[in-house]
Amino acid sequence: MPLILVAPLIVFAMLALGVRTRRAAANLAQLAPLSALVGVGLATWARLQKPEPYDGSYEWLNIGTAFSGPAQFQTYIVDIGIRITHLTSILMLCALAISFAVLAWSRVGARGEPSPARYYALLTLLLTSTLGVVASTDLSVLYVFWGAAAAASYLLLSNSWADEASTLGARLALAVPFGSDLALLAGIALLYSRYGQLNLDQLIPQLHGVAGAGPKALATAGILLFAGAAGRLGLFPFHGWLTRASTASAGAHAAVQGLWALMAAGLLYKVLPILAASNTVNPWPLRVVAVTAAVSAVALPLLGLAGMDGQRALTAAGIGVSALAVLGFARPLAVAPAAVLLAATALARVGLILAAGSLAAGMRSPLVSEMGEGLRRMPLSLLALPLAAAGLAGAVGAVAGDKLLHWWWVAAYALGLGLGMLALFRVYFLAAHGPLPRRRGFDPNRVRAAPNEVAVPPLLLAAIAVLISIALYSTRFQGYFDRLPHQRPAFAFLALWVGAPLAGALLAAGLFLAARALGGRLTAGAAFAWEGGSGLARRALDRGLVAPFTALIALLEDRALAGGESRLGRAVGDGARILHRRVPLLPVALGVAVVVVVVAGLAAPGVYR
């Protein structure tokens, strides 16, 4: 069991400390997912037909913190617990698949990365952290892995430090999700402050008891925990860190968004009982989940339509469809299938980004307006886009079902799917069938198909996503993860869930064929407006938040404090100058002695008792 976490950690340490060359780093990094695969594979195989999970734990901390007061606050126990259920198995296998694909792609696709050992080491650390988050049974341990993954993500995205745009994107990737990580921490702290317990096995049974948190506190904790997951998933309004990270290497960008989607799936599945427990008296947490997911599903593909950066557009569209999977978490009986769907969308999104990275590298530009003739020149890389789109949107219908709570759920699913596919296929049509313009220093005739190491991994990931999507239409497959009965949605709804993405794809094709020039100009106008708007927002944030505080500190440090200190310093200096003067020693000593005696006498009458 420890093999799953310890072996990749050892590989990380070896990469960080001992490897210098690119080839050695790439080869050694493969050992991490390989060794973890052995562990996960064995555990999965052992529990294939058995409903009981595979449990293992190591007692990390066990402290008796108090001798009185409520019993739950008298100890602080942290066990590094690992639990492999059917669901965690598939999440971990998806993480390993992503890791293998990114590592294979990076052998050629990330040749330009500075410090390859660091790059591969951070990929390994991110994988280890993902496995830790998915498998852990204690919220504090989960947060340890979560924090490690956050640090690894930031360093991975900012690996190309010399590139200003990449560094700015990485800084955003540090700052924006920090807010949501903070929310997660606050949620965990709130739960601890009420229950004195962070082990989910012991915490969840207490949720319905009288002691502990009231409905309001429980609802707040649930919303904070969800905010933690939403931030890392890139749901609206936390999407900026993922879309702006497109300036980083495609391998890093793909790994970060794929693995974080899996971690978010793991977290949401674990904490959903907390949201559900508060839902019995306070429906707000699940409403927040549903509304955030629905808004993200509609808004983010729209944002994806605005820009010309292919990787950014695909990221926005991918987040939008993943948000539809999150919507499933707000429905009873759809939680485990929703987590599997989120894993499938993670695979598809990684496939999309890797393929887009290959296309951008081949056509020497990240902008879709400067891409074209891809189907003829880079067919394998380009085919990954529609295949990944199928994997992304294919199974949403299976999880959406037909027993929807409100009419706007239907609208969110249909609009989200349609807009997501519109944004995605817009990129596909421009890159596949658009003209490849000649640019300064770029000859279209020199564009060649990407080597197999780069072209095949995205295709494979997309294919796995499609397979999972197809399997999700089987109620038996859905029931395998939660041992609950599931029903197929009615045909009319099924038609709607399949029709909506098809409509989006067809609309993209129609727009491409009918008004390519007009569409290009429109898109350019939208991109211009978007850039202007975000620039304004940045300036407003700087002027409204950062500047006043820094001005205040300047005022404090350079004027008030420095003035006060200089007066204080002068006073001390003047005091010290007395020592340089010739003073009569005996009278001074006698005076000091008298003062000390009087003070001591006044302060402590007991001295003379």
Partner 1 sequence: MNHLLYLLAVTTPSPSPSPVSPFGPTIIHFNFLLSTLIWTPVLMAAVLALLPNPRGRYDRTFFQIAFWTNASLLFLCLVAYNQANLFSSAAQYEENLPWLPALGIQYHLGVDGITIPLLLLGSLIGVVSVLASSAIRERVREYFVLLLLVVGSVNGVLCARDLFVLVLFWAGGILPIALLVAGWGGPGRRAAAGRFLAYGAVGTFALLAVALVLYAATGGISFDFDFLAHGLLNNRLQVVIAILVVVAAATRLPLVPLHGWARDLYAEATPGVAMLVAGIGARLGGYLLIRILVVGQHNGASLIAPFLAALAAATVLYAAFAILRSRDLRRFGAYAALVPGGVAALGISGMTSLALLGATFQLVAGGLAAALVVGATATIAERAQTRDVEVMGGLAPRMPKLSWLFVLAGFAVLGVPGFASFIAEAMTLFGSFHNQPGAVFVLSLGLGLLAVAFAFFYQRVLFGSPRPDSPGASDASLGEMWYLGLLVAMLFWWGVLPGGPKLGGSVTLFDQGIVNVINNSSADIMSGYSPGAS
Least distance between partner 1 and beta carbon 232 (Å): 15
Q: Report the distance separating Cα 323 and Cα 151, nearest Å.
A: 24
The encoded tokens of residue 589 equal 């000593």
Q: How far is CA 224 from the centre of its chain?
A: 15
Single residue of 7, 32, 101, 190 touching partner 1 by CB under 8 A: 190
Which residues have a Cβ under 8 Å from the Cβ of 187 and sit 6 or more positions away?
A: 220, 221, 222, 223, 224, 225, 227, 228, 271
Single residue of 553, 555, 595, 598 touching partner 1 by CB under 8 A: 553
Which CB atom, from 492 or from 603, has the smaller least distance to partner 1?
Answer: 603
Site for partner 1 in 336-375 (CB under 8 A): none
Q: Which helix (H) or strand (E) holds 145?
A: helix 139-157
CB 284 within 8 A of CB 223: yes
Single residue of 10, 189, 456, 498 touching partner 1 by CB under 8 A: 189
Single residue of 209, 535, 573, 591 touching partner 1 by CB under 8 A: 573
For residue 106, the one-letter residue type is: S
For residue 409, the one-letter residue type is: W
Which CB atom, from 183 or from 324, has the smaller least distance to partner 1?
Answer: 183
Any contact of residue 546 with partner 1 (CB under 8 A)? yes
Which CB atom, from 69 or from 332, has the smaller least distance to partner 1?
Answer: 69
Site for partner 1 in 65-84 (CB under 8 A): 65-70, 73-74, 76
Any contact of residue 605 with partner 1 (CB under 8 A)? yes
Any contact of residue 186 with partner 1 (CB under 8 A)? yes
Least distance between partner 1 and beta carbon 310 (Å): 26
Least distance between partner 1 and beta carbon 118 (Å): 10
Least distance between partner 1 and beta carbon 536 (Å): 21
Least distance between partner 1 and beta carbon 573 (Å): 6
Q: HSE-up of 564 (CA within 13 Å, CB side)?
A: 5
Which CB atom, from 525 or from 564, has the smaller least distance to partner 1?
Answer: 564
Q: Report the distance separating Cα 327 and Cα 341, nearest Å.
A: 11
Least distance between partner 1 and beta carbon 598 (Å): 12
Using the rule CB under 8 A, give the single segment among 32-40, 100-108, 301-309, 548-556 that binds partner 1. Answer: 548-556
Single residue of 50, 51, 52, 64 touching partner 1 by CB under 8 A: 64
**DSSP letters for 382-443:** HHHHHHHHHHHHTTHHHHH-S--SSHHHHHHHHHHHHHHHHHHHHHHHHHHHS----BTTB-
DSSP label at residue 309: B
Binding residue count for partner 1, defined by CB under 8 A: 68
Least distance between partner 1 and beta carbon 151 (Å): 5
Site for partner 1 in 133-172 (CB under 8 A): 140, 143-145, 147-148, 151, 154, 158, 161-162, 164, 167, 170-171
Q: Report the distance separating Cα 43 and Cα 55, nearest Å.
A: 10
Which residues have a Cβ under 8 Å from the Cβ of 217 and sit 6 or more positions away?
A: 190, 194
**DSSP letters for 444-472:** GGG--PPPHHHHHHHHHHHHHHHHHHHHH
* Crossing angle (nearest 10°) for helices 250-279 and 310-327: 20
What 3-state DSSP class applies to 55? strand
Least distance between partner 1 and beta carbon 11 (Å): 16
Least distance between partner 1 and beta carbon 65 (Å): 4
CA distances, 234 to each of 400, 559, 588 (Å): 21, 43, 72
Cβ burial, residue 253 (10 Å; 0-12/13-18/19+)? buried
Any contact of residue 63 with partner 1 (CB under 8 A)? yes
Which CB atom, from 35 or from 72, has the smaller least distance to partner 1?
Answer: 72
Which residues have a Cβ under 8 Å from the Cβ of 567 and sit 6 or more positions away?
A: none
Single residue of 165, 405, 495, 561 touching partner 1 by CB under 8 A: 561
Query: Dihedral angle at the C-alpha atoms of 60, 65, 67, 71, nearest 10 degrees?
Result: -70
Adjacent-strand bridge partners of 82: 56, 136
CB 87 within 8 A of CB 332: no
Q: Report the distance separating Cα 328 and Cα 400, nearest Å.
A: 6
Which CB atom, from 529 or from 556, has the smaller least distance to partner 1?
Answer: 556
Which CB atom, from 151 or from 410, has the smaller least distance to partner 1?
Answer: 151
Which CB atom, from 147 or from 499, has the smaller least distance to partner 1?
Answer: 147
Q: Which residue has the tokens 């290959």?
A: 358
Least distance between partner 1 and beta carbon 240 (Å): 14
Site for partner 1 in 192-211 (CB under 8 A): 192-193, 198
Any contact of residue 179 with partner 1 (CB under 8 A)? yes
Least distance between partner 1 and beta carbon 360 (Å): 23
Q: Which residue has the tokens 């506190």?
A: 217
Q: Report the distance separating Cα 93 and Cα 320, nearest Å.
A: 23
Least distance between partner 1 and beta carbon 553 (Å): 5
Single residue of 27, 60, 302, 471 touching partner 1 by CB under 8 A: 60
Least distance between partner 1 and beta carbon 62 (Å): 7
Any contact of residue 571 with partner 1 (CB under 8 A)? yes
Least distance between partner 1 and beta carbon 368 (Å): 29
CB 421 within 8 A of CB 505: yes
Using the rule CB under 8 A, give the single segment among 246-254, 389-397, 523-531, 595-603 that binds partner 1. Answer: 595-603
Cis bond before residue 237 (omega within 30° of 0): yes
CB 128 within 8 A of CB 136: no
Q: Are strands 54-64 and 75-84 parallel, antiparallel or unpaired?
A: antiparallel
Any contact of residue 569 with partner 1 (CB under 8 A)? yes
Q: Which helix (H) or strand (E) holds 201?
A: helix 200-206
Any contact of residue 487 with partner 1 (CB under 8 A)? no
CB 311 within 8 A of CB 246: yes
Using the rule CB under 8 A, give the single segment among 180-188, 263-271, 281-289, 406-414 that binds partner 1. Answer: 180-188
Single residue of 45, 58, 408, 528 touching partner 1 by CB under 8 A: 58
Q: Which helix (H) or strand (E) holds 484?
A: none
Using the rule CB under 8 A, give the single segment among 264-272, 318-326, 477-485, 543-551 that binds partner 1. Answer: 543-551
Q: Which residues bind partner 1 (CB under 8 A)?
A: 58-70, 73-74, 76, 140, 143-145, 147-148, 151, 154, 158, 161-162, 164, 167, 170-171, 174-175, 178-179, 182, 185-186, 188-190, 192-193, 198, 546, 549-550, 552-554, 556-557, 561, 564-565, 568-569, 571-573, 599-600, 603-607, 609
